[in-house]
Structure 1
Amino acid sequence: MLWGTAGSGTDPGAEKERTPARKHVTDLFRATTGSAGLDLCSTSDIILTPEMGMQVLPTGVFGPLPPKTVGLLLGRSSSIMKGIHVSPGIIDEDFTGEIKIMVHSPLNISAIPAGTRIAQLIILPRIKVGKNRQDQKRGDRGFGSSDAYWIQEIKRDRPVLLLKINGKSFQGILDTGADVSCISAEHWPSKWPALYTNTSLQGIGQSQSPLQSSDLLSWQDQEGHQGTFQPYIIPGLPVNLWGRDIMSDMGVYLFSPNTQVTQQMFDQGLLPGQGLIIEGQGRQKPISPNPNLQKTGLGYFPRGS
């Protein structure tokens, strides 16, 4: 699961949004008559820096693909030569949303003007094998809609997440031990209303009667997760903390690094966010043994018989 938008906050990106006409795959061009890929361009001007990590660029091109085909999204060699890395992706036949490009510039600062050809879409025949996990179509659900999740080992340096709150960007760290989210008083906009509470917060030292947003604020991450919350405003807090009030709406789950335990969970039918048992009927914990103490042995003979 990964995140952020250029053009706001502390990141040095500058993005100018445009509203291009809606296009479909059949409207794309290839460089030459012998080219295998259809050219994809970003609809936004953007500057990438190594600190920004992976970014998602819009293309203004929407599905679905032609029947019985699948799309393979790859970077162009010219982009790679400029230090721009494009992550490969699969576009399903039944995907109807906007096709987007995942890019990052790990070595240097790179500028991508709107209309620059940075990726290509290769249309391939779809050979149907295997079984369907779910009997439903992809629709416009893109990033984060499958059973693939962002995984980051939680070390001394905790994972960082950029959120857009009421249209303004805030960077903070995911705190799995925090019930509520806290924003540093230095980062809190002076025009946003707040009120004193009778709450005592522990775990960040101790804060008596801290300020809390008097409005229910809307947040959104780059993967499209969104929700509302009322964060606390803490003076002297060196970094913003995103707690379980946000992570629950993001569908964040903690998994054991023990591969055997994880495999046992999946063998029992675990689908993250849907729980255990056939077709995910809500059980989100491992099945505990419930022995019948009135029976014993392989033949289940009552005790004393």
Structure 2
Amino acid sequence: MLTLVTGCRGRVGSALAALLHAGGHGVRAASRNPDQLSLPPGVPAVACDLGDPATFPAALAGVDSVFLYAEPSGIDAFLDAAGAAGVRHIVLLSSSAVLAPDAASNPIAASHHAVERALTASPLTATLLRPGAFAGNAYQWSQAFRSGRPVDLPYPHSGGSPIDETDIAKAALAVLTDERLQGAAYHLTGPESLTAAEQVAVLASASGTPVTVRTVSRDAWKQAVAPFVPEEIAEGLLSYWAATDGLPAEVTGETEKLTGRPARTFAAWAAENAAAFRP
């Protein structure tokens, strides 16, 4: 079996490529800029831009399965090329946002929803991984930690169940290598619900860096993130946090079901990445 792993500059894709290789499975790492990848020795890299169909045939040649990021712009052409290449199974890195009733129009869910629809309408076997918030999203607060500023949160009591990206990669490994798990959808979460303020406290403890949380208005937060976050995404996030303010996040057992071990805690992730939150 040869698996094409797209998006190997990302934390999930790079971890999955390493896991497949370590397990003796054939793997080809893909990226828009394959020369910039850092891969284990023996893992070949190939150019694959999910928005550029011209890159698809060479990337897919001889491939049996694909780990796919949710880029809708070229999805129809990608599925046509995958079918022509003899691909049998695609694992999509989707999002739990597609479970919302407004997924088709929700700015956070829309791209994932569109790719899911295209996949499920195709003759290929599709497995959908729907993680919630990544533990690595906490890096957004690292600059505040390092500079001694408060962490600004518009909804500090919004609940989340952050999942370690390594667990997502392990879940993907499981569904790629075990046919019994294929063709289904899995809502992946971490093992516990934590508010945003609680996540900040966990990071402060792990890094030994004192920090305070400052509640800010929606507009103040939008203005602060404007250089990095498109307005429609910022509004989608704010709406989600407002809807979950004061509510615990859903915790599923899907991660453990696929990986065979409990999902890693946010505290474990924080301890492993504590250096990023120290001055």
- TM-score norm. by structure 2 comes to 0.25
Q: Which has the higher contact order (CA 8 A, sep 6+)?
A: 2
The structure whose residues are more often strand, as a share, is: 1
Provide TM-score, normalisation by structure 1. Answer: 0.23
